[in-house]
Structure formats: structure tokens, C-alpha cells
Structure 1
Amino acid sequence: MATLTQTQTRTHSHHHHHDNTYLTSKNKNDAGVRITRLGLYSNLGMAVAKGVGGYAFNSQSMIADAWHSLTDLASDILTLATVSWSLKPPTAKFPTGFGKVESLGSLGVSSMLLFGGCFMCLNSCEVLYAHWFLDAHAAAEAALHAHGHSHGHGHGHGEVTPSLHAAWLAAGTVLLKEYLYQATMKVAKERKSSVLASNAIHHRIDSLTGIVTLFAILGANLMQNAAWLDPVGGLLISLMVIKGGWGNTVSALYELADKGIDDEIKSSVSRAAKKSLATLSEGSEVELREIQGVKSGQNYLVDLELAVPSAWTVEDVREVEENVREAVGGSVRGVRRVKVRFIPKTETTNLFDEFISGDVSPPPEEHDHDHEHEHEHEHSNGHGHGKKIQ
């Protein structure tokens, strides 16, 4: 249960980052693939139904929920669109591969989620302000302005109450999402798949936002003078959307800024590397000193530092490097490149020592002077005499 809770915490803030193996797989007979595709089609149907229903039935909270479904759907479509591109092999022009294409797309979707949530939040706040602070006539005008239309659901004192028909739509989406949660979690437990468990929990979160919508609509209709409950529901959902959008935006920006890989991946790489060294006859003499790396879309680009005896030859370290690279690449999902740096055991360095400090590189004038000097030297050699060109 602890694992699922951790997955839940990660999923909503990094929804577009989770591994979409089942969504992109071509094996349509697989139970995991079927339930994931069903989730995608359901998100599409519900985004349209909630959007049209929210507009037709005058419900702020349902429009906010529709936006939530739409951004989930956009995230899934983005994954389908970018996954094959992000897994392309590197080229001379893009030596680290195309993973950042996915990071850029993620930034686009998460920004849409964030700004959409802010827009819905402001809209709900405008209706609430109109209800609580303006007189009845002004309240009616502001509410109509915020909704952009009126369907005659006012109750004679300027309040725009959502139609009770919206409650049926909200209840339907809650039941469908709860079914998807149960069905996906069943397959996740059978497969022991954290990916499917992550998708299942996202369905449960959607189901909870649907319950907020349902209560807001029922409360606005069944309680006297409670039309304000619907924009309050919209406000709550928009805050959830903003929270998810903010988390996703920060993640995408971190990825584009080459933030280091997380501890979970580092420990997986460490286990795979040590297991590989244990299979080698001289592996006990090798010490894994440092693991660094960056995430590029679904790809991990990993750097390892291994300490070996000073007497070892290039052939000795080559065998270790090949074994470690193969083991890490084969065991840790998403690792697309493993660079290994070898140092003598007597030295105490780390991977950051490879960086050249700013004061070591020569200033531009000095560099230009050296280049000119080299050019003169080549010219004089090329003409077979020592005369310098001034």
C-alpha cells in the first residue's frame, strides 16, 4: 500500500512523465493495453460531454471539470505523438538524442493546464464576487457575463443556478471513472505494474473531482439561495488543476534545464552496475564511486565513475565498461546512454572534476593571439622558409 501511496503522490504532479508503455504498445490483445486505451477514449468522451453539458446546463464546476479531463487527454495524446520521436537514435546534429522534444511538449501541455486552471479560477471568483458583493441586479449581469449566456435558469432574484440535468452527467462520469479505477487497479495488481497503478490512481482522482462537481450542482439546486455552491465547486476543481499544472510545469522546466536524475533511478543503476561487477572475475577490485545523469524525455543519460587498480590496462577496463553498460542499459528502463569514467583507486575525485573552471580558459584576446601565431607558423612551414607574415 505504501508503494501505491508514493505512486499517487508522484502521479498527479508528474502525470505526463509517467511511463506510458501500455498506451504506446501495439499489442491490442494485452489486458493492460486495452484498459489504458479505454481510459484514453473515456477521457475524450468525458471532456466533450462535460464541456457541452457545463455550457448547456450553466454549471461552472462542470466546465472546470471538463478542462481537467481535456488536459489529461492532451497529455496522453502528446505522449503518443512524441514517444516514437523521443526514442529515435541520436544524430550528429542531436548527439544526445531527441528526448527533449517530449520535455518541450510536456511544457506546452502543463502550461495549458496551469493557465486554464487560472482562467477557470478567475471565472469562478468573478461569479462569487458578483453573488456576495454586488446587488441582485448587478449580480445577475456579472453572472451572465461570466457564463457568456443565459438559459433562463435564474430563480427570480438574479442567481444563475445550474440545471439539475447536469447532476446526471456528473454522476455518470463519477461511476465511469470509478469503474476504470477498479478495472485498471485489478490488472495492475495482477501484473505488479506501477505504471498501471499510477494510471488507476489518476482515474480515482478524476472520480473525486466528479464528486465535487456533483455535490456542487445538487447543493445549488436543493438548498435555498445556494447558487454560490456551483462556482465554489468550480473554484475547488480549478485549484486542483492549478496544483497539477504547476507541478508539471516545474518538472518540464527542470528537465529542460538538465536537472540531475532522482535517487530512485540512481539506486537502480547502482544495483545493476554492482550486480554486473559481481559476475566478473576481477569485478571485486572495481569500486563504483559516483553516479550522475540527466533525464531527457523518457530517456536517461547516465555517467558513472569507477575506481580501478592503477596497474590495469586499457583492455582490462574495456571489459568492465562493456559489461556495466550492457547490465545497466538492460535492467534500468529508460537508460539510453551510459558513459563510464575510470580513475585509479588511489585518487579521490568526482565527476564534477571534468568541468573546466571559468578562470582556466584563456581570455578571447590571448586565444586569438595564439591562433594567429599558429597560422603564421603553418604558413611559414608551407612555404619552406622561416619568414613571418606581419
Structure 2
Amino acid sequence: MTAQKRGHAGHGHHHHHHDNVYLTSKNKNDAGVRITRIGLLVNLAMAIGKFLGGYIFHSQALIADAYHALTDMVSDFMTLGTVAWSLKPPSERFPNGYGKVESLGALGVSSLLLCGGVFMGLNAGQVLLSQFYPEAFETLQHAGLLVHAHSHSHSHDSEVVGPNINAAWLAAGSIVVKEWLYRATIKIAKERKSSVLASNAMHHRIDSLTSVVALATIAGAHVFTNASWLDPVGGLVISLMVIQAGWGNTKTALLELADTTVDDEIKDSVRRAASKALAQSPVPGHVEIRDIQGMKSGQNYLVEIEVAVPGSWSVQQFRQLEETLRERVGSKVRGVRRLKVRAVPQELQGISFTEEFIPGDVSPRSSPEPEEDENHSHQHNSNSHESHKRR
């Protein structure tokens, strides 16, 4: 624990991301590395097993569950891959750092999840349509308005065939394994205080819940007579769960890319850390924190603080205050990657960050001075040249 605190105090914003190297770390004895790799291998094996099982045993619910497991695995890989980019220091081309690369990766994964959920739902809906309204299904299929559903064997026979009972064993096995993975991962996450491992653990728990839905619908189709429709209903329910998760993540990624402000919770944490820094450091005169704003860039927070300082302060005094605030907030608020401090005189009231934006009615076209200056400069150069020639 002491090592964790020491690393955090030295450069707090790096500590949060260190956990993301679990996949690429060469330290195979590390518990976090081991459980992350086990989780990814299990996800891959289960996704393949469920896809094959769903196809062979004619289970819509199992195919939907397999797709969900696969997108989770792609999400983990993408997260682990983009975090390495987000940690790169700012460059001339990317002055705000590379955090948005992670946001773009999140948008890609969530879009995949969203589209996959929609297609799974359409597929399950087709199977239900073929069972309850076969004439309408045939009409739409002949009109070319339906994609070819996997469970075509269900609709072409006079007798509707439900999922094979062996599909239930796959779903039950998935629940047991995923619940074990959740408990093992969350235990290490709590010990390490790792948000990334905690997120991975929640993925395992959600997979376990979707497998419960699959098991219930597959088993129900066998327990109750004429209930083969339960399996595609299970597929539809899981697809709706996937769509909900996909839309939520897509919306978050889009808002991040549009540079929306950080949560109030982050602003409050920054305000508390900055206030403590002012209380504990010997600052001459009264300094007031007036406003805080920021934006999220991947897992990084780029924050700005506006402070009111005495008008008599020198640049050196403000510089010392800036360094104090940056060190304190950086070590206390997890994820803060950049901190800009803006000073305003205490005497002035009603100033906000919006004054930094140039009003729309101020533009080079409405101000002809640059052209005059340019002509004047050109004329001056011509006169100098003529004078030189006369000599």
C-alpha cells in the first residue's frame, strides 16, 4: 500500500493508467496480469464455443450471448491498446495529448456493440415472425425485405423445432466460469484499487447475467410444451441489453469527442484539493478560487482553474501559486493530466472563462488595418529600393 501512495503522490495522473498494462506486462507472477490474461482467454474460448453451440443446437439466445462475449473481448483489447497511446506526452501536432485516441477507440467498440445488438434483435425478431406469422414471414422473404435468419430450419418445417437441450449446458457452464472470474478479478481490483480491473470484473458479471437469460429461455423451451418461441425471445432480450449498453457507451464517447465539460464530481474534487493547497501554503494576501472547468480526453482530465489574486502580485508570486496548485491537484485527483491556472484581479467581478472567446462580430474582414499595414510595408520597401538605385 505504501508503494501505491508514494507513486501516487509523485505523479498522480500516471498512477491511474498503470493498471492498463496488465495485458502487455512481462511479469507473469503478478496477480493482475494473470487474471487479465485468464479472463481474455476464457472470453475467446467461450465466444467461439457459444457461436458453434448456438449454430449446432439452433439457439438464438446462445448466439446472442456469444456475440456479447465477443464484443466485450474486443472492447478489452481496444481499451488496453489505446491506453498506451493516451499516455504519450503532448506533441506539437497533438498539444492536448493523445487521450482522444482512446475516445475514438471507445466509439468504435460501442458502435460495434450497438450495430451487433440491432442485427441480433432483427434476427431473433425474424424467427419469432416465422413461428407466429409464417405467411407474413414468407411474403416479406419473397419480397427481399428479410435477411436470411440462422434458424431457417425452424420455419421451413411444419413442426417448429426448439433449441437442443445441450445448449443449456453451455449457458450453465458460462454462468459458473464467469461468476468465478468476476469474484477473482474484483478481489484483486479492491486490493490494488484498480479501476481497470474493476471494469473488467463488471464485464464478467454482465456476461454471467446474459448467460442466465439464455439458460432460462433455453430450459423454458424444453420444460413447457409448445414454448420453442422462448429461445428467440431470450435472444431478443439479450440483444436489447446489448443495444442499451452500446448506445450508452456510444453517447459517452461522442460527448467526449465533442469536448463536453467534466463531471461535477471531478470539479468538486479539484476544488477541494486546490482549497487545501491554498490553506496549507504561505500565500501573501487573499486568494479565491472562482471557477473550474475542464474536459475529458480518454481517461485524462484537462482542467482549468480561475483564481482571483491581489492586483499587486508579481508574475513570480503567481508562478509559485500555479506550481503549488498543479502539484497538489495532480497528486490528489486521479486522472488529472493537465492543469492550467488563470489569474484575474480581485477587484474585478463577473469575469468568466467565456471572455477568452473572441466575439463573432470581431473578424479580420471588419478590420482593414492589416491590409493597410501590408500596403504601407510594400510601399516603404519600394521607396527604399528606388532610393538605393538613385544612389
User: Fold conserved (TM > 0.5)?
Assistant: yes
In the alignment, which residue of structure 2 is the partner of 1:299? 300
The counterpart of 2:19, out of the listed 17, 22, 25, is: 22
- State whether structure 2 residue 144 is matched by structure 1 residue 147: no
Alpha-carbon distance change, 273 to 209 in structure 1, aligned in 2, over 3 angstroms:
same
Q: Which residue of the partner structure matches residue 261 of structure 2?
A: 260
Q: Give the direction of change, closer, same or farther, for the CA distance of 1:346–1:127 in structure 2 (3 Å limit).
A: same
Aligned to 2:10: none
Change in CA separation of 1:138 and 1:379 when aligned onto 2, cut-off 3 Å: closer
**Residues 87-236 of structure 1: matches in 2 within 5 Å?**
87-134=87-134, 145-147=148-150, 150=153, 157-236=158-237
Cα distance in 1 between the residues matched to 2:306 and 2:284: 14
How has the CA–CA distance of structure 1 residues 359 and 298 changed in structure 2, closer, same or farther, with 3 Å as cutoff?
Answer: same
Residue 380 in structure 1 maps to residue 383 in structure 2: no
Letter of the structure 2 residue corresponding to residue 378 of structure 1: S
Per the normalisation by structure 2, the TM-score is: 0.85
Separation in 2, partners of 1:376, 1:293: 43
**Greater Cα shift, 180-189 or 304-313:** 180-189
Q: Distance in 2 between matches of 1:338 and 1:66?
A: 43
Q: 1:37 to 1:102 in 2, by over 3 A?
A: same
> What residue in structure 1 maps to residue 357 of structure 2?
355
Q: Which runs of 4+ in 1 moved over 6 A?
A: 141-144, 153-156
Q: Secondary structure at 1:341's aligned position in 2?
A: strand
2:309 maps to amino acid: V
SS class of match (1:294)? strand
- Provide structure 1 residue ranges, at least 5 long, that are not aligned to the other structure: 1-18
1:73-121 CA distances to partner (integer Å, 9 max, x unpaired)? 1111101221111211121121111111111111111111001000000
Give the drift of 1:154.
Answer: 8.9
Q: 1:24 to 1:194 in 2, by over 3 A?
A: closer
Superposition deviation, residue 333 in structure 1: 2.4
- Computed over aligned residues only, the root mean square deviation of the Cα atoms, in angstroms, reads 2.7
Asked if 2 retains the 8 angstrom alpha-carbon contact of 1:307 and 1:343, the reply is yes
- 1:13 match: none
For residues 274 and 29 of structure 1, do their structure 2 counterparts lie closer, same or farther at Cα, with a shift above 3 Å needed?
farther
Query: What amino acid does structure 2 have at the position aligned with 1:130?
Result: S
Residue of structure 2 in register with 1:33 after alignment: 33
**Residue identity matched to 1:251:** T
Shift of 1:329: 2.1
Q: Distance in 1 between matches of 2:314 and 2:339?
A: 21
Question: CA–CA distance in 2 between the matches of 1:201 and 1:277?
Answer: 39
Kindly indicate whether the alpha-carbon contact (under 8 Å) linking 1:380 and 1:386 is maintained by their aligned counterparts in 2: no
Do the aligned residues in 1 keep the contact of 2:301 with 2:337 (CA within 8 Å)? yes
Report deviation, 1:350.
Answer: 1.5
Cα deviations by residue, 1:353-372 (Å, 9 ceiling, x for unpaired)? 2112212334x3x34x4332
SS of 2:289 mapped into structure 1: strand
Change (3 A) 1:122 1:54: same
* Distance (whole Å) between structure 2 residues aligned to residue 222 and residue 144 of structure 1: 30
Deviation at 1:215, TM superposition (A): 1.1
Report if aligned partners of 1:111, 1:249 keep a CA contact under 8 Å in 2. Answer: yes
- Matched residues in 1 for 2:302 and 2:277: separation? 19
Is 2:276 the partner of 1:279?
Answer: no
Give the letter aligned to residue 318 of structure 1: R
Distance 1:144 1:220 in 2: 25
Counterpart-to-counterpart distance in 1, 2:284 and 2:58 = 69
Percent of pairs with identical residues: 57
Give yes or no for the alignment of 1:53 onto 2:53: yes
Could you tell me whether the CA contact under 8 Å between 1:57 and 1:162 is conserved in 2? yes
Q: Deviations over 1:253-282 (max 9, x none)?
A: 101100111112112222222222223111
In structure 2, distance between residues paired with 1:232 and 1:190: 40
Partner of 1:11: none
Report the equivalent of 1:44: 44
Q: Distance in 1 between matches of 2:341 and 2:374?
A: 36
The 3 A distance-change label for structure 1 pair 136 and 110 is closer
Q: What SS class does the counterpart of residue 312 from structure 1 fall into? A: coil
8 Å Cα contact 1:88/1:97 also seen in 2: yes
Q: Look up the match of 1:5.
A: none
d(CA) in 2 for partners of 1:381, 1:292: 48
In 1, Cα distance between equivalents of 2:85 and 2:179: 33
Letter in 2 for 1:124: A
Distance between the aligned counterparts of 1:180 and 1:229, measured in 2? 28
Alpha carbons of structure 1 residues 379 and 154: separation in structure 2 relative to 1, 3 Å:
closer
Contact (CA 8 Å) 2:303, 2:338: kept in 1 or not? Answer: yes
Separation in structure 2 between the aligned mates of residue 136 and residue 352 of structure 1, nearest angstrom: 59
Q: One-letter code of the match for 2:50?
A: K
